[in-house]
Homo-oligomer: A and B are copies of this chain.
């Protein structure tokens, strides 16, 4: 920033019961910037809403969610002006998102990291509701575990999210690296190759992009698969 270099550090612990907002999650962020507590809180809230509050591992919940952001001013560098604050916010957002993704990657039994990208929604709340429902559906998550491009389960989950949807407006893609394959166009399956779709679903990381065809709002949710190891971990684990 203008006055010198500041550092933000962070660590987080998951990795089940990450629902609906954080839960069974502890994250501690630190910075040596000199910044007021109220401003820090506002920046943290924004960062958390786009990261820790948009992940799910198993749809179960806990009472223990905590994200702390501590600033001690040890750098002697104050944040002054909009540019400094924007730079700090960017770094904080990046760090929170990176940690949130790590929690999903480290989810109990997780073998896949999947972004649910919902576009074309009438509002962000509706996009989020659809994304969360897909991200927590046991049938979607077992299909992810099996590398099964089961678009029926994805659309069925979207349909029960409490959002009015028109099937003939829905389009769905699976995207990994630079590959993008459309599975559904306006409510009907495309003539995609099953082997090509299965190959994308077999990637360790990919994105399911669902366009609702109703507006311009967008939301992203990150989730993992529901694997045999999830059952092993939670059937054998005893507090």
Contacts and interface: CB of A to CB of B under 8 A. Distances in A.
Interface in A14-56: 16-17
B232 A58 contact: no
A139 interface: yes
A137 interface: yes
A142 interface: yes
A159 interface: yes
B62 A143 contact: no
A178 interface: no
Q: How large is the interface on A (under 10, 10 to 19, 20 to 34, 35 or more residues)?
A: 20 to 34
A57 to B, nearest CB: 9
A62 B137 CA distance: 11
A60 B161 CA distance: 11
Given A234-B143, A234-B146, A239-B152, A160 B59 contact: no
Interface string A112-155: 00000000000000000000000001110011011010101000
A145 B60 contact: no
Interface stretch (A83-91, A94-102, A213-221, A223-231): A223-231
A195 interface: no
Contact of A142 (B156, B159, B227, B231): B231
Contacts of A62: 156
A182 B150 CA distance: 44
A148 B238 contact: yes
Contacts of A231: 142, 145, 226-228, 230-231
A138 B160 CA distance: 19
Contacts of A137: 60
B159 A63 contact: yes
Contacts of A238: 146, 148, 150
A61 interface: yes
Q: Top 5 A-B pairs ranked by shortest CB distance?
A: A146-B235, A142-B234, A145-B235, A142-B235, A60-B139
